[in-house]
Structure 1
C-alpha cells in the first residue's frame, strides 16, 4: 500500500493543497489504484515556504501543484504499486 500525504498546514492550504489533493484523488481514480493507494491530509510538514508539500511513502516533494501530479503518479506512485504487486 502506497501512502500519499498532502500537507494541510495553513501556508500549504493557501498555496493550493486542496487543489493538489483533488488532482491526486482524480489521478488515483483514473488509474484504478484506490485499492493500492491511501491518500491522507497531513498536518504541517514544516516546509511552510515550500508548499504545497506532498509525502509519497516517506519521500517529501515541495511545490507540488495540480499540474505536477501526473508526473509524480508516473514516476513515483505507479512504479511503487507495480513493485508491490
Structure 2
C-alpha cells in the first residue's frame, strides 16, 4: 500500500503544480503516469537483485507489468488536470 500511495503522490503533486505553469497536454500527463512507476520498479529491481531476493527474469518481467497496471490510473487525472485549465 505504501508503494501505491508514493506512486500516486509522485505523479499527482508535481503535475498539479507544474500544470499551472506549463499547460501539459493529456498525453504528457499519461506519459508521466507511466514514467513514475517505471522509476519505482527500476529501484525496486535494483534492490531485489543486489540482495539476492529476486531472479533476473522476475525483474525483467516486472517492469512492463508495473507500467501497464499503473497507466490506467492516470487517465482520470489527465481529464482533471487538463480540463481544469482548459
Asked whether the two chains share a fold, i.e. TM above 0.5, the reply is no
| Larger gyration radius, structure 1 or structure 2 | 2
Higher strand share: 1
Higher helix share: 2
The TM-score with structure 1 as length reference comes to 0.31
The TM-score with structure 2 as length reference comes to 0.31
